[in-house]
Amino acid sequence: METALSRLPVVELAQFYSRFREFENSSAGRRLQELGAACNPPPRAVAIDPWFHLKPGIPIATGAAAEFDAADCIAGPLEPLRNLARNGRLPLRHSVIVFTGIGRLAARPADRDLLWRAFEVPLYQQLRGFQGELLAAECERHQGLHILPDAVVELRGEELLLTSLRNFRHPVLRLASGLTGRIDHEPCACGRKSPRIVGLKNKPSVTILGNETARSG
């Protein structure tokens, strides 16, 4: 289906990275992000190494095991969560939230197994933009990530083209995201009717960012 958006050119990821500062609107304010609907309010959540700014009240851990003693939920990008899980069992009471995004690792089935063995709680993956704004999120049925109203997700072949409608600091339309998947329009077993991204993966060649690169300002 052709829309006004679909007539605009796609922004390639390499082009976006090479001119990241030009795409940045530094006069747009910094937005503080919430952990999202999977656990709202999150019972004693601790975040580890987010690339964006979370609302106050969610402690940010550096990785020492003692920081997680009282945590029910740990949220972070996949790499620090993998490292934590490889250090041994750390049973939680509520959930693990994986933040993925452009230039971030998406959880594979092997990661879900690893994190389940360590944390023994459900995993909720969230797709977030450069400022951490929530674009799509996994529900309790774990049948893909529901696309939120603030995001437009299109497909070019298998690659997701992302448009974030709420990020005024890095406004970019139709960014070729380096992530692949399908879009399922069938209603989800959870009752929500919003389309879902299923089979989310990184393209094999995609560059994974370090936390200092493209951190939101």
User: Contact positions toward Zn ion, by CB under 5 A?
Assistant: 139, 141, 188, 190, 192
Q: How far is the CB of 198 from Zn ion (least distance, A)?
A: 11
Of 65 and 198, which has the nearer Cβ to Zn ion?
198
Of 117 and 141, which has the nearer Cβ to Zn ion?
141
Q: How far is the CB of 205 from Zn ion (least distance, A)?
A: 31
| Residue 162, both tokens | 């992302």
Q: Which residues pair with 75 in a beta bridge?
A: 47, 97
Of 108 and 141, which has the nearer Cβ to Zn ion?
141
CA-CA distance, 211 to 191, in Å (whole number)? 36
Q: How far is the CB of 192 from Zn ion (least distance, A)?
A: 5
Of 19 and 141, which has the nearer Cβ to Zn ion?
141
Supply the angle between the helices 109-119 and 78-86 in degrees, to the nearest 10: 50
Of 197 and 214, which has the nearer Cβ to Zn ion?
197
User: What strand order describes the sheet that includes 60-61?
Assistant: 60-61, 45-48, 73-77, 95-101, 123-128, 134-138, 145-147, 196-202, 175-184, 159-164, 151-156
CA-CA distance, 27 to 149, in Å (whole number)? 24
Q: How far is the CB of 62 from Zn ion (least distance, A)?
A: 33
Answer whether 91's CB lies under 8 Å from 120's CB: yes
Q: How far is the CB of 2 from Zn ion (least distance, A)?
A: 28
Cis peptide before 9 (omega within 30 of 0): no
Q: How far is the CB of 135 from Zn ion (least distance, A)?
A: 15
| 68-100 residues labelled b (16+ CB within 10 A) or e (exposed) | beebbbbbbbbebbbebbeeeebebebbbbbbb
Of 27 and 40, which has the nearer Cβ to Zn ion?
40
* Residue of 88, 92, 86, 84 whose CA lies nearest to 49: 84
